[in-house]
Structures are given as structure tokens and as C-alpha cells.
Amino acid sequence: MYRYDEFDHAMVKDRVEQFRGQIARRMAGEMTEEQFRPLRLQNGLYLQLHAYMLRVAIPYGQLNAVQMRKLAHIARTYDKGYGHFTTRQNIQYNWPKLSQVADILDELASVEMHAIQTSGNCIRNTTADQYAGVTADEIEDPRIYAEIIRQWSTFHPEFTFLPRKFKIAVSGAVGADRAAVRFHDIGLFIVKNDAGEVGFEVWVGGGLGRTPMIGKKIRGFVAKADLLAYLEAVLRVYNMLGRRDNMYKARVKILVHETGTEEFTRLVEKEFEDTQGGALDLPAEEIQRIADYFQPPAYEALSDDPPALTARRFEDKDFNNWVRVNVARHKAAGYAIANISLKPVGVPPGDVTADQMDAVADIAETFSLGGIRVTHEQNLVLPDVRQDQLYDLWLALREQGLADANLDHIGDMICCPGLDYCSLANARSIPIAERISQRFADLDRQYDIGELRLKISGCINACGHHHVGHIGILGVDRKDQEYYQITLGGAPGEDAAIGTKVGAAFSAAEIVDAVETVVNTYLALRQPKERFIDTFRRVGDAPFKESLYDKAA
């Protein structure tokens, strides 16, 4: 993984001291809260419903064991003993004290981490495919470019006061999109052109929130050397022309929509013509310098499906299920990618205790060459596990309550913090997630239902990605009561789609039954081996509406 050089270290260290000074000046009354607010936000510090919240960046979702132990230490020392992994490959602490924030940032800097630009109207943490570098279906490792973008976007003097936040995601995989690339302000797919050169396909204007939109492809190929010049062109057009009169219409998706994709593209191309070939040219030696950090480890010469694994799978049904559901193909023979579901029954999705973090760090060192990834689905990944050690890994995870075999099933929900924590929320989402996970706790039932992405947001800002859930749940406030709308048919990945509202909202008491009705309707309609989303696409929403609302019929 990437290691800081003297410059990166200095950058993060200077930033902590700068913020320490800003906090002191705020406390001394030398600036107003309004003036301080964007400064603290750009250092990851929010004011929530009950307390401050600190959001720490995990660039492109990559951690090592030492960093994970530091996250555990922070949870234990400065917070209430747990942390929350988010849909943007970050981790949030819900109870830090303002007076200790600079110390926490110091602790993070000591392991090459930071909370820079995890909030505010600037370029946020750049996310990537969690299987980067270990999946067989990859053109190039997206982490190389995500790291380049991380550096370019850090303290960019021109883009720290954009109309609104700006999120970039990168994927290098062919045919699979695990990073919801089309739902980002800029989505980059690494592609090969006809000449065999590797570059980027650029999508702009995707996003969820109040106005969910799938991004628009504005360029089929940007050469590597031009990557930063092209990104800068998009950002400059957005910074100058994005709306600032209404924060709900300020994202680049609205600018693209109102300007028209063709005109927006023309403006970007014109800007790009002026910047291309200049100081932003990305030198091949810098790409190589960063790529060197992401060279694959020396894998041992092994073969797939070793007898030890096959035997264990045959003997132990639970283990076999976990392998079938949570383990993915690795590019190196004899290795595997193991997912750790952070969605056990009855625990808020994405929450991990300090002890579990320490355990994951130890486990990663023992079984995965020390590497850990964080996914936008709020799970963890051990990217480099020997297949003949999967069983021992599974036993170790099970001991920590981290061996739930529900990846991509109904138990594996995305869920925002909701009204339990968030000052924007209209309704609680965590208790709904808990009740759904209890209702569908039976794993055999989950396996019978098959792949089903359920996503819950506690308000229209859609942090729980409900628009791209096969089943989405949106919390709304109706006369001071919490109600929940259901959307159906969304999808985040290569088959990107935005779900549509199925009808009137349900009360908190009714919503779990309603979800079960939707699931049962699917089970009655499906053809052999047909996933929920495919059945929905085949039959449309009419049968679901009927079973949800025409109870007399």
C-alpha cells in the first residue's frame, strides 16, 4: 500500500497544527462560528444531534493492521469504544470532545491517516473498488489513481469553496462496478482504447440525495497524463457555474442536468484544451512511483480449491455457506478475497467495537498479509487470504462475532445513522434495520431469497443509498410521526438504476411486514434462479403494489 514520503508527512502534520490554531482562535473569539464552520468541516468535524462527530478518511478504503489498531485505540481512548464505517469508505466517531480533536488528528497522522476534506464543500475522500489489485477482472489497479487524486485534491486552493461537496470514485474492473461509480460527481472507469492504451472513461453528475441521478458519460477516453488536467477542467466549470442560490440544487448533477450534457461537455472540453499539456501533466515517473507501492505481494505458488478447503466445506455446512457467500475469487491461484460482514443481527450496520478492530488487525496479519479494505457497503475485506487457511480464518472471525455469511443478502443492509445520531434525519433507521435483520435472521431463508440489496435512509439526503436498493426504505416525517416509504428496483453497480416509489408510506409498526410482503411477492413470482431485481424488472411494480395496498383483493 502507499506509504507517505517526507512531503506527505509534512502536509498532514502541518494541517493538524493549523487546525489546532484555528480551534484556539475560535475559542478565543477571534472568529465567528460561521467562519469556523467550514474550517472544522474540512477537517472532518461535524456538529451532530448530541455531540461532535469526527469523520476519518480511509482513502480508497485501504487500511493496514497498524492503522486499524490505531482506529481501535482512538475509539477506546477518545470515544465510547466503537466506530462506524460509512458508505464512503470512512470511519466516524460519534462522541469526541472538541478539546481532544487535534490530539486525535495527531494520533492519526502518526499512522499516515487524516480527516482532511471528509466534509465541507470540497473534494471528498476518493473511493475505489474494494477488490482493487486482487480481482482477476481488472485492467489496472484503481488505487494508484485514487492516490494521485487524493494528493491533487488535498488543499486544492481553487476548489475548497465549491458550490457543494464533490465525490470521486474510481474502478478498474471490467463488467463489475463495486464502487457505485455512476452515482458520483465524477466516476472514473479505467479502460483500454483501440490502440491498447490505458486511460479513463469519465462520468459526471451522478448522485443520490434529493434528486437522484445516474451520471452521464462525457468522455470515452482520457489519457493517463491528462487525468488531472481533465478533472481540473470539470471542477473549474463546476466551481464557476454551479448554482449557489439553493444548496439543494448546488451539486454538479443539477448543473449537468440544467445545462445539458452536451453543452456541459463542450465547456469542459474548452477548459481542458487550455490546461492540457501544462503544469498539470501527470508525469509517467510519478505514476510509476505510486504504482510501485501497489505492486502485488509475492504470492506463493498454490492451486485453487486445495483438498483441505474442499474437505472442510464438505464437513461443515456453516463454513461452506460462508465461503459460498462471503468469499470472492482472487487473481492469484490458491488465494481468496474474504468479506467480513459488519451486519450481524441486532447491531447497527457498519458499527465495530474497539476490541473487534484489534481482532481484525491481528487476523489480517495472520491471514491476509496485513491488508484490510473497507467497502461502501459498510463491510470489511481481507484481500489476500490463502484458500487453505480459510477455515482457520473463519474460526477466528466467528470467535469475534464477525463471521456472518450474509453478504449481498437481505441481512447485509446499508443503513445511515438516522435520527439516533443525525441532526438532518426525519426518522430513525437503525431500529428498522435491526428489526428487519431479526425478521430475516434465518440464514436458510436469506439464501432462498438470494441476492437482495436493501438500503435504508433516515431522510431524503439518502446517506443510506435507498434509491439504489433493490428494496429502498426512506424515513419521512408525517405529523411528527416516523413513516417509511418503499422504493423498488434500484441498483448501484454495473446495472445502475434508480428505484421508484411504490406507494404510500408505512408506519414504523408496519414497515417490517411491508418488506416481508415485498419479499414474499417476489418469491411467488420468480422464475428459477431469478434474482429479486430481475423479477422486478420483468414484472414491474404492479404485483408489488397490489400485494402491499390491495389487501382486500
Q: Shortest gap between Cβ of 159 and another protein (angstroms)?
A: 7
Q: What gap in Å lies between CA 427 and CA 503, rounded to an integer?
A: 18
Q: And the C-alpha cell for 81? A: 469504544
Residues 6+ apart with CB under 8 A from 80: 94, 95
* Residue 240 lies near another protein (rule: CB under 8 A): yes
* Residue 343 lies near another protein (rule: CB under 8 A): no
User: Across the strands, what pairs with 166?
Assistant: 123
157 or 307: CB nearest another protein:
157
DSSP string, 344-406: -TTS-TTEEEHHHHHHHHHHHHHHSTTEEEE-TTS-EEEEEEEGGGHHHHHHHHHHTT-----
Helix axes 532-539, 542-549, angle to 10 degrees: 100
Name the phi and psi angles at 487, rounded to 5.
-115, 150
* Residue 550 lies near another protein (rule: CB under 8 A): no
* Residue 286 lies near another protein (rule: CB under 8 A): yes
Which of 95, 152, 221, 549 is in the footprint of another protein by CB under 8 A?
152
8 A C-beta contact, residue 422 and residue 416: yes
8 A C-beta contact, residue 164 and residue 244: no
Which of 162, 208, 427, 533 is in the footprint of another protein by CB under 8 A?
162
Other C-beta atoms within 10 Å of 160: how many?
A: 17
DSSP string, 524-536: HHPPTT--HHHHH
Which of 161, 248, 293, 314 is in the footprint of another protein by CB under 8 A?
161
17 or 137: CB nearest another protein:
17
* Residue 160 lies near another protein (rule: CB under 8 A): yes
Helix axes 261-275, 227-241, angle to 10 degrees: 120
17 or 448: CB nearest another protein:
17
H/E segment holding residue 221: strand 216-223
* Residue 22 lies near another protein (rule: CB under 8 A): yes
Number of helices and strands in the chain (H, E): 18, 21
* Residue 24 lies near another protein (rule: CB under 8 A): no
Q: Cell numbers 475559542 label which residue?
A: 27
Q: And the C-alpha cell for 446? A: 436469506
26 or 455: CB nearest another protein:
26
Which of 87, 118, 239, 487 is in the footprint of another protein by CB under 8 A?
239
Which of 33, 194, 262, 285 is in the footprint of another protein by CB under 8 A?
285
Q: Which stretch binds another protein (CB under 8 A): 238-246, 261-269, 475-483, 521-529?
A: 238-246
* Residue 287 lies near another protein (rule: CB under 8 A): no
Q: Which stretch binds another protein (CB under 8 A): 278-286, 302-310, 363-371, 494-502?
A: 278-286
34 or 262: CB nearest another protein:
34
Task: Give the C-alpha distances (Å, rounded to integers) separating 424 from 143, 178, 432, 442.
Answer: 32, 28, 17, 34
Q: Shortest gap between Cβ of 245 and another protein (angstroms)?
A: 10
Q: What gap in Å lies between CA 87 and CA 493, rounded to an integer?
A: 14
* Residue 280 lies near another protein (rule: CB under 8 A): yes
Q: And the C-alpha cell for 263? A: 453543452
* Residue 292 lies near another protein (rule: CB under 8 A): no
* Residue 159 lies near another protein (rule: CB under 8 A): yes
How far does Cα 470 stand from its chain's mean position?
17
Which of 279, 301, 509, 542 is in the footprint of another protein by CB under 8 A?
279
Which of 21, 346, 401, 540 is in the footprint of another protein by CB under 8 A?
21
Sites for another protein among residues 425-454 (CB under 8 A):
none
155 or 549: CB nearest another protein:
155
Q: Which stretch binds another protein (CB under 8 A): 149-157, 342-350, 462-470, 499-507?
A: 149-157
H/E segment holding residue 274: helix 261-275
Q: Which stretch binds another protein (CB under 8 A): 232-240, 328-336, 377-385, 400-408?
A: 232-240
Q: And the C-alpha cell for 309? A: 478447503
Q: Where are the alpha helices (DSSP H) in 6-64?
A: 6-27, 33-41
* Residue 164 lies near another protein (rule: CB under 8 A): no
157 or 528: CB nearest another protein:
157
Sites for another protein among residues 36-55 (CB under 8 A):
38-39
Q: By rule CB under 8 A, what string of x and - marks binding of each residue 247-266 to another protein?
A: --------------------
158 or 315: CB nearest another protein:
158
11 or 525: CB nearest another protein:
11
Which of 67, 126, 135, 154 is in the footprint of another protein by CB under 8 A?
154
Task: Give the C-alpha distances (Å, rounded to integers) separating 131 from 209, 327, 512.
Answer: 26, 11, 33
Q: Cell numbers 439504489 label which residue?
A: 468
Q: Shortest gap between Cβ of 235 and another protein (angstroms)?
A: 9
Dihedral sign of CA atoms 351, 353, 354, 355 in order: negative
Q: And the C-alpha cell for 62? A: 485501504
* Residue 243 lies near another protein (rule: CB under 8 A): no
8 A C-beta contact, residue 38 and residue 120: yes
* Residue 5 lies near another protein (rule: CB under 8 A): yes
Residues in touch with another protein (CB under 8 A): 5, 7-8, 10-11, 14-15, 17-18, 21-22, 31, 35, 38-39, 121, 151-152, 154-162, 236, 239-240, 244, 274, 278-280, 283, 285-286, 289
